[in-house]
């Protein structure tokens, strides 16, 4: 093989190796950048969640007037890559079986679950003894900064549903979490 042909083949090989190295370097720099860019921009492209309607039960089976009915249900919640089941509670009050008041069962002070006090006929928060009126959800005693949080509800085909959501606790405004 002549010296000239050997020089041409070495030049071609070197050119190819430079090209392959440059492509590999660009790929190594771009790929992590793309995944970081995707993670940074993904909330922009997510579809907004609609209301989460939760089935509470047959509307005509809820007790009229007092006591209100506590309904527990579980939800699957995604927190980054962790998926877990969470127990939620609401209180349902109705005087006539047609119009309902659905309360988030968390106290607006510290988020404790409220329970119905049969003797006093109020919803009671055990954390700092906050008392709430059953019919209006207003604060009767204790440190809660606002009334119980009401939830939107609907009746479809005789079934009561609520649009469940949590709210920030400890502040006077009703702000979704």
Mean pLDDT rounded to a whole number for the chain:
88
In this prediction, residue 7 carries a pLDDT of 57
Is the distance from CB of 69 to CB of 63 less than 8 angstroms? yes
Is the distance from CB of 114 to CB of 107 less than 8 angstroms? yes
Closest-CA residue to 149 (of 161, 159, 139, 160): 139
In this prediction, residue 110 carries a pLDDT of 94
CA gap 25, 155 in Å, rounded: 61
pLDDT above 90: residue 66: no
In this prediction, residue 44 carries a pLDDT of 63
pLDDT digits (tens, 9 = 90+) for 107-155: 999 999 999 999 999 999 998 999 999 999 999 999 999 999 999 999 9
pLDDT above 90: residue 41: no
pLDDT above 70: residue 89: yes
Q: What percent of the chain is predicted at pLDDT more than 70?
A: 89
Mean pLDDT of 92-120: 95
Tokens of 137: 């959800």
Give the pTM. 0.72
Please state which architecture CATH assigns to domain 53-163.
Answer: 3-layer Sandwich (2.102)
pLDDT above 80: residue 48: no
pLDDT digits (tens, 9 = 90+) for 2-28: 555 555 566 778 888 888 898 888 888
To 10 degrees, the CA torsion angle through 167, 169, 174, 177? -30
């Amino acid at each position: 093989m002549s010296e000239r042909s050997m020089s041409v083949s070495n030049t071609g090989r070197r050119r190819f190796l430079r090209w392959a190295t440059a492509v590999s370097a660009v790929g190594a720099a771009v790929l992590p950048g793309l995944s970081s860019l995707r993670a940074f921009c993904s909330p922009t492209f997510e579809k907004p969640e609609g209301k989460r309607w939760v089935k509470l039960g047959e509307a005509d089976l809820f007790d009229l007037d007092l006591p209100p009915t506590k309904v527990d249900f579980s939800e699957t919640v995604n927190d980054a890559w962790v998926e877990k089941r969470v127990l939620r509670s609401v209180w349902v009050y109705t005087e006539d079986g047609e119009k309902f008041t659905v309360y988030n069962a968390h106290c607006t002070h510290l988020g404790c679950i409220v329970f119905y006090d049969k003797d006093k006929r109020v919803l009671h928060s055990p954390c700092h003894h906050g008392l709430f009126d059953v019919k209006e959800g207003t604060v009767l005693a204790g440190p809660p900064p606002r009334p119980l949080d009401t939830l939107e509800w609907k009746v479809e085909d005789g079934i009561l549903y609520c649009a469940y959501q949590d709210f920030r606790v400890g502040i006077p405004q009703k702000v979704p979490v």
